Structure 1
Amino acid sequence: MSNIEATPVASAGASSVSTTGWGTEARQSFGLAWPLIVAQLAQNLLFTTDVVLMGWLGPKYLAAGTLANAFLMPFLLFGVGIIGAVAPLVAQARGARNIKAIRRIVRQGFWAAILVATLLLPIVLNIRPVFALLGQDPEAIALAESYVFAGAWMLYPALGIIVIRSLLAAFDETRMILLITVLGVIVNALVAYTLIFGHFGFPRLELRGAAIATGCVNLVMFLCMLGYALRHRRFKRFHILTRFWRPDWSHFRAIFRIGMPIGLTVLAEVGLFSVAALLMGRLGTNELAAHAVALQMASTAFMVPLGVGLAATVRVGIAFGRGDRDGIHKAGWTALAMGTGFMAMTCIIFLAIPQTLVGIFLDRTDPANTVALGLAATYLGIAGIFQLADGAQVVAAHALRGLSDTKVPMFLAIIGYWAVGLPIAYVLGFVLNWRGTGIWLGLAAGLAIVAIVLVARFAMRERLGLLRTVPLDGSTPAH
């Protein structure tokens, strides 16, 4: 990739020598990260709300909803990963004070979002033949299909949100992202409750109602973020929708060149968990419902280091754009300390009170839930063990994205998840007959391997040539 596309350079006279101490970096990183953290938690709460409501319908509906999301989410997050390339590109352009590049990156981000959503839509609508081939229960397939058919259109606004969020985050407007996401949680809870159970004169749509609510809330959030970006004086100067039809092929290609490996990295991880859900489905409804509950708790905790990672991409990207080696060092390691520190606390909580936590999702007084509750508590205890690895790998991956380093991390993730994690999960779960416990131990092994290699790669970034465009003497990079 050319330096112009991948590494916007500092304008003449821009300072490229960091004057930020560790304490200042920690405060600035936390100030940028905490709204993103809460926004990620709120974003996860959207699905958590649906999981709780589907659980109220019964284990059959919860299992079907889990299957539907196990199929839909990998494709959605693959698209999110591709469009996520807008974040480091805008951050690098800001660090280089390249206003024209910011405008063009955002516009081409919308182009990429529309293209990716259009390509993914027909794929996700083919859920029935895929699940039938995988031997899933016919009733569960029918229910899962109803969910996907009702909500697949959410791909368009969901990917559009990533473009606007990347712009806002690169300019430290993360509180607005938080406010809009919280608004989305409220809208989702009201609409989902109304449509799932048929309240206030609306028909009872059950799983279809949950899907429709998810699509509606994504549309509302996208329109709110877009309106803010178009009207706020700080962003009006970018004119992101003016002459929207005009292509900028260099930036369009840059988004896919950087974003495709990100998308495949995300797909490798999410795909691993989706395959785990399919394996759980072969063990039985109780195992699958328990897996859904434990995974929801683990993914809720994961939102915190993910938010830290998003901030790390911005902080590292800005430092990279202005040619600041020391800033890159401090931004990356500060984020790693924050992310793994939080996950150490969640590890303790998961190990200490698993029964209490899983009781939030399944009625502990209903005898029909006894087996699922016990299994969910066991899986959550294992999830607590790999919390540190999960936090470290996501922050390290995002820090590397700030350097536009995405291809090698992609291969490392694929190897770690699919050549290590999945085989271990299958052998322990089915060959040794450890069932769900073995599957979760395989997930833990895959995460641990990826965490080790990605943190090591960030630590060795100079020896690996990841900073070759950043001057050693702190001078302004050459165009």
Structure 2
Amino acid sequence: MARSIGSPDFRAELGRTLALAGPLALANLLQMAIFATDVMFVARLGQQALAASSLAVAMIAVLMMGVNGLTSACAPLIAAELGRRENAVREVRRTTRMALWLAVILGLVCIVICQFAEEFMLATGQDPALARLGGDFLALLSVGILPMGVANVLRTFVSALGRPYFATAITAASILVNIVGDYALVFGHFGMPALGLTGAALASIITASFTVLAYAVAIRRNRRLRRFHIFGRWWRSEWPRLGQMLTLGLPISGTLIAEGGLFSGAAFLMGLVGEAQLAGHTVALQIAAIAFQVPFGIGQAATIRVGYHYGAANVAGVAAAGRAALLVCLVFAAVTSGIILIFPRLVLSAYVDVNDPANAIMVGFALRYLVVAAAFQFTDALQAVAAGALRGIQDTRVPMGIAVVSYWAAGFAVSAALGLFTPFEGVGIWIGLAVGLSVAAALLMARWHWRGRFGLLGAIAR
């Protein structure tokens, strides 16, 4: 039977969860800082460049969520193998190798898809000038999907093996690379030409490539990680393990695409409402996305900790790990919600000059959207951690169905109805986002709470 909050076992699990979630959440925040620096530089190119890049990023975000969702299936598999047997070198190597295969194959497919971005944007009714600018930007930016996918696999590997601080340090170094790249290539410094949006895309590709190289060096130099030889015999196939990853990963990918698609779809809806609304949405969404990175990191930690106990057939440990992660995420959501409500102009000032009359309309829209963002901090955090905990017990198919229903049948439908057919416009679109997240949180929490009744613990519960 699981121990209650305050018991020694729970306190120990809470400490382990914090030790793992802290570096992962910080790495997520630093990763968002990379994207944030891009937005900061691009925003200074003008409202049209910011709006066009928003459409491009909305598309690439969905594709990256699909890639990362599929490859992230290695996290619960590695954690379960380590829970069953600490010295699971061969099993961990096979899982990681197949995840790297998937990252490369899917990355190449996504690059091809992105070459038709302009046509897709035009088909969704976007302004032709924005579609042309955004399509050209995405055609180049998409090259970075391949190294970003590989880096995500390597990050999962080092985190599951108890070295999450590697992810933090490498992501921090990547920020510096990205800032220098943007500074040199967007506006033309250090003897480089001023390339505008093209420069921002090149800087992102360089940063992603640096990240992969940094992980490879770190893994090679660390004794614990080196002994897994994950780059050895990379050509050797492990079809059963690949099939296992696809079984788990495809629903995870579908879940993330459904969620990412809701937010990307909101950007396209904003594009139909107006350019200023889209620009304001882009900035406000960056703030909401940054706040989400901590619950997302806690959810990643929950997958690993719950997965470890699942592999060790420890029912009480599974319960304690999930409870610890949920408690931490609720505390953090209270903090971020308060900051957004109390200091909205301060957080906006990190991206745009809120006192510049030229930005007045955009800032006005962004401030309205942030009110809604503050309201959905709790449900956004709960759905992320509940989904992560369910992945730890390798439950991914039903959560995918929950995601589709919540984010599209509820969230996007409300966004489209309120945004396009009522005076709410942009605020209505954000209300739809809140509805989708709230429905997902309620259903995922219910499934986690009744995991035993649903038979999700399998043989370990007997």
TM-score grouping bracket, smaller chain normalisation: over 0.9
Report the counterpart of residue 396 of structure 2 in structure 1. Answer: 406
1:229: Cα distance to partner? 1.6
Task: Indicate whether 1:353 and 2:318 are aligned.
Answer: no
Report the counterpart of residue 327 of structure 1 in structure 2. Answer: 317
Report the counterpart of residue 61 of structure 1 in structure 2. Answer: 49
Task: Indicate whether 1:92 and 2:73 are aligned.
Answer: no
Q: Any conservation in 2 of the 1:290–1:376 contact (CA below 8 Å)? A: yes
Report the counterpart of residue 386 of structure 1 in structure 2. Answer: 376
Percent identity between matched residues is 38
Distance in 1 between residues matched to 2:249 and 2:419, nearest whole Å:
34
Distance in 2 between residues matched to 1:80 and 1:444, nearest whole Å:
24
2:444 paired residue among 454, 474, 478 = 454
Which range moves more in the overlay, 430-439 or 409-418? 430-439
Distance in 2 between residues matched to 1:408 and 1:364, nearest whole Å:
44
Report the counterpart of residue 14 of structure 2 in structure 1. Answer: 26
Distance in 2 between residues matched to 1:155 and 1:353, nearest whole Å:
35
1:418 paired residue among 408, 418, 421 = 408
1:324: Cα distance to partner? 0.6
Equivalent position amino acid for 1:410 in 2? M
Distance in 1 between residues matched to 2:170 and 2:114, nearest whole Å:
27
1:453: Cα distance to partner? 0.6
1:139: Cα distance to partner? 1.6
Report the counterpart of residue 299 of structure 2 in structure 1. Answer: 309
Distance in 2 between residues matched to 1:241 and 1:348, nearest whole Å:
45
Secondary structure of the structure 2 residue equivalent to 1:470: helix
1:359: Cα distance to partner? 2.6
Distance in 1 between residues matched to 2:219 and 2:347, nearest whole Å:
39
1:35: Cα distance to partner? 0.7
Distance in 1 between residues matched to 2:219 and 2:352, nearest whole Å:
41
Q: Any conservation in 2 of the 1:25–1:331 contact (CA below 8 Å)? A: yes
Equivalent position amino acid for 1:259 in 2? G
Report the counterpart of residue 228 of structure 2 in structure 1. Answer: 238
1:1-38 CA-partner distances (Å, limit 9, x unpaired): xxxxxxxxxxxxxxxx9x96111111111011111111
Distance in 1 between residues matched to 2:223 and 2:352, nearest whole Å:
48
Distance in 2 between residues matched to 1:450 and 1:130, nearest whole Å:
28
- Within a 5 Å distance, the mapping from 1:195-344 to structure 2 comes to 195-344=185-334
Which range moves more in the overlay, 401-410 or 135-144? 135-144
Q: Any conservation in 2 of the 1:354–1:380 contact (CA below 8 Å)? A: yes
Q: Any conservation in 1 of the 2:14–2:324 contact (CA below 8 Å)? A: yes
Distance in 2 between residues matched to 1:90 and 1:392, nearest whole Å:
24
Task: Indicate whether 1:82 and 2:70 are aligned.
Answer: yes
Equivalent position amino acid for 1:91 in 2? A
Report the counterpart of residue 190 of structure 1 in structure 2. Answer: 180
Q: Any conservation in 1 of the 2:322–2:389 contact (CA below 8 Å)? A: yes
Secondary structure of the structure 2 residue equivalent to 1:464: coil
Which range moves more in the overlay, 99-108 or 355-364? 355-364
Task: Indicate whether 1:175 and 2:161 are aligned.
Answer: no
Task: Indicate whether 1:46 and 2:46 are aligned.
Answer: no
- What TM-score, normalized to structure 2? 0.96
Report the counterpart of residue 10 of structure 1 in structure 2. Answer: none
1:395-418 CA-partner distances (Å, limit 9, x unpaired): 110111111111000000000010
RMSD (Å), alpha carbons: 1.6
Q: Any conservation in 1 of the 2:281–2:366 contact (CA below 8 Å)? A: yes
1:471: Cα distance to partner? 4.3
Report the counterpart of residue 375 of structure 1 in structure 2. Answer: 365
Distance in 2 between residues matched to 1:57 and 1:177, nearest whole Å:
31
Task: Indicate whether 1:134 and 2:124 are aligned.
Answer: yes
Task: Give the number of aligned pairs.
Answer: 457
1:365: Cα distance to partner? 3.1
Question: Hey, which bits of structure 1, 4+ residues long, moved more than 4 A?
Answer: none
Secondary structure of the structure 2 residue equivalent to 1:264: helix
Distance in 2 between residues matched to 1:337 and 1:417, nearest whole Å:
24
- What TM-score, normalized to structure 1? 0.93
Distance in 2 between residues matched to 1:375 and 1:471, nearest whole Å:
51
Secondary structure of the structure 1 residue equivalent to 2:387: helix
